[in-house]
Chain A
Amino acid sequence: MNGDWPKRLQRWAPYALTPLVVVAALPAIGPGPWLTLTVAGLTMGIMLFMVAAGLTLIFGLMDVLNFAHAAFVAVGAYIAVSVLQPLAGWTNEMSLALNIAALLVALVAAALASGALGFVFERVVIRQVYGAPLRQILITIGALTVIEQLIIVIWGPQAIPLPKPAMLRGSVFIGSSSIETYRLFALCVGLAVALAMHLFLTRTRLGLVVRAGVEDREMIQALGYHIRSVFIGVFMAGTALAGMGGMMWGQY
C-alpha cells in the first residue's frame, strides 16, 4: 500500500494546487477581502463549470468540437429573460421562496430550451460531420453565427437588463467581508448541479455507459448499447448545462 503513495500524490497534486494558492493568499490580503474574493471566485468557477462540463461531455464522448457551444449559453440567458419578465411579480416580492421559485422556473426553462435546441442541432448539424473534425469546426462556427443572428431577430440587438430578485440583491456581511447574496444562491445551484452530475455518472447505469463510451465507443456497442441514442442524450444534456450556465451568468 505504501508504494501507492507517490502515485496517489501525483494524481491528486493538480487538484490540490488551487486550494493551496487560495489558502496561501489568506495572510497576504486579510480575512475580510479573502472571503469575499474566494466566494466570488468559487461562484464564477461553478458557473464556468456548468458551461464547461457540457462541452467536455460532448467532446469526450462524441469527439465533436462544438464551437457553437457558447450559443447555447446565450440562448439560456435569453430564455431566462423571457421567463423572468412575466414573473416580475414573484421576483419583486420580498419573499425568498417566491424569488427562488422564479429563478428555478427560469433555470428549468433555460435547460429545457437549450436541450431541445441541442437535440435539433445534433440531428441537423452535428450528425452530418461525425468523425470529420475540420468540418465540425467550420459548420459549428457557422451555426454559432446563425444562432447569434436568430437571437438578435427574436430578442433584438439591445442589451436587456435582467434585475436580480428582490431578496437576492445586496450583500450579506460576515465579519469584515461582504458576500453578494446572489453569489451564494449561484454557488448552491452550481454545487447541486455538480453533485447531480457526479451521482449520475458514478451511480447510474446510463452514467456508466457514458463513461465507458468515452473510452471505447465500439466496445460499448458490442455490449449491446445504442451509442447513437447515448450521443443524442449527452448532447442534449451538454447543451442544457450550457443553458443553465447562461441563465446563472445572465443574473450575475
Chain B
Amino acid sequence: MTDAGETLLRVEGVFTNIGRYRILHGVDFSAARGRVTTLLGRNGAGKTTTLRTIMGLWKARLGKIVFDGQSIAALDTPHIARLGIAYVPENMGIFGKLTVRENMLLATERRGFAPEHLDRVLESFPALKVKWDSPAGSLSGGQKQMLAIGRAMIEQRRLLLIDEPTKGLSPAMVDQLVEALLRLKREHTTILLVEQNFRVAEAVGDDVAVMDDGRIIHTGTMAALAANHGLQHRLLGLSMADSV
C-alpha cells in the first residue's frame, strides 16, 4: 500500500432524497486510501443515507461520488460492489436461513474460499468456526455482526463501508469487533466507518467527518477531535467524559 494517504473515495455535493424528503443536503468529504475514516453525528444526521448512497442503494439526486478516479454515482449496486466495495449494513444483512459457510461463500469471488482469507476471518472471529454449518439465524447478535464483518473480509476489498457495527452489543463483543477492525487497519484496509460509540471511533479512526442535518460540518483527524473536548461537545453534544 504505497499509495496510503491519497484519496480513494470522494463525495462531492451529494444530495439524496428518500421519497419526498431530502436527507442529504450537499455532502462533501473524502476517504484516504489505507486509512479509517469515521463518519460521526447524531441520530438522523444522514450517516446511513450517505453509506447507502455511496453503495447505490439510494441514488444521489445531485453531486459526484468518485471511487479511485471513477464516477460511481450512476452505477447500480452490484456494479459498485464488483469494484471492490463491501458494505456491512446497520441491520447486518445476514441471510438467516443460510448457514454461516453459505453466507461467507456468497461474498467470495471464486468457487471456494481462499485459504489465507478464510484463516484470517476465523482467527479474528473463532466463534464462526464453531457455528460454521449452523443457520446464521441461530447466531447471537454479536455473532451475526462478526459474520457480517467476516463476510466483508473474506476477499481483499478496496473499501469497506461499515455501518454502526457495535450497536446493541455487549462490551466484550465490542472489544472483539474493535480488535478485528484494528487488524484491518494494520493491514491498511480503507474503511469508512459509521459509529455512534465515540470510544470505538477514537480507537479505530484515523480521520473523521462529522455530519449534522444531512451536511458535513467538520472534517479533520480523529486525534485532533479526541483531544478537543470542547469541539466534541459542540459537534456531537458529548465529551470524552460522558461518551460510552
- Report which A residues bind B (CB closer than 8 A): 205, 208-209, 211-212, 215-216, 218-227
Contact = CB atoms under 8 A, between A and B. Distances in A.
Which of A209, A216, A219 lies at the interface centre, i.e. has the most chain B CB atoms within 10 A of its CB? A219
A219 B78 contact: no
Given A212-B106, A223-B106, A224-B82, A218 B57 contact: yes
Given A215-B95, A215-B97, A208 B105 contact: yes
A136 B177 CA distance: 44
Contact of A219 (B76, B89, B97): B89
Given A219-B93, A221-B76, 20 more contacts: A205-B111, A208-B102, A208-B105, A211-B95, A211-B97, A212-B95, A212-B98, A212-B103, A216-B93, A216-B95, A218-B93, A219-B89, A221-B77, A221-B78, A222-B81, A222-B89, A223-B107, A223-B151, A225-B106, A227-B78
B39 interface: no
Contacts of A223: 81, 106-107, 151
B129 to A, nearest CB: 18
A222 B92 CA distance: 12
Interface in B37-91: 55, 57, 76-78, 81-82, 87, 89
Which of B89, B96, B106 lies at the interface centre, i.e. has the most chain A CB atoms within 10 A of its CB? B106
Interface in B98-117: 98, 102-103, 105-107, 111
Nearest to B57: A218
Contact of B98 (A208, A221, A222): A208
Which are the 3 A-B pairs with shortest beta-carbon distances?
Answer: A219-B93, A224-B81, A221-B77
A109 B70 CA distance: 46
Contacts of A226: 76, 78
A169 B87 CA distance: 59
A222 B95 contact: no
Given A205-B111, A208-B102, A208-B106, A219 B82 contact: no
B169 to A, nearest CB: 20
Interface of B: 55, 57, 76-78, 81-82, 87, 89, 93, 95-98, 102-103, 105-107, 111, 151
B5 to A, nearest CB: 27
A218 B88 CA distance: 12
A208 B104 CA distance: 11
A111 to B, nearest CB: 28
B50 to A, nearest CB: 15
B111 A222 contact: no
B78 A224 contact: yes
Nearest to B81: A224
A200 B76 CA distance: 27
17 contacts: A205-B105, A208-B98, A208-B102, A208-B105, A209-B106, A211-B95, A211-B98, A212-B102, A212-B106, A215-B98, A218-B93, A219-B95, A221-B81, A222-B55, A223-B81, A224-B78, A225-B106
B78 A225 contact: yes
Which of B55, B57, B78 lies at the interface centre, i.e. has the most chain A CB atoms within 10 A of its CB? B78
Contacts of B96: 215
Contacts of A225: 78, 106
Nearest to B111: A205
Contacts of A218: 57, 77, 93
A11 to B, nearest CB: 11
Nearest to A224: B81
Contacts of A208: 98, 102, 105-106
B77 A222 contact: yes
Contacts of A211: 95, 97-98
Contacts of B57: 218, 221-222
A99 to B, nearest CB: 40
B74 to A, nearest CB: 16
Contacts of B107: 223
A224 to B, nearest CB: 4
Nearest to B138: A7
A215 B137 CA distance: 11
Nearest to A212: B95
A212 B99 CA distance: 11
A130 to B, nearest CB: 15
Nearest to B137: A215
Contacts of A212: 95, 98, 102-103, 106
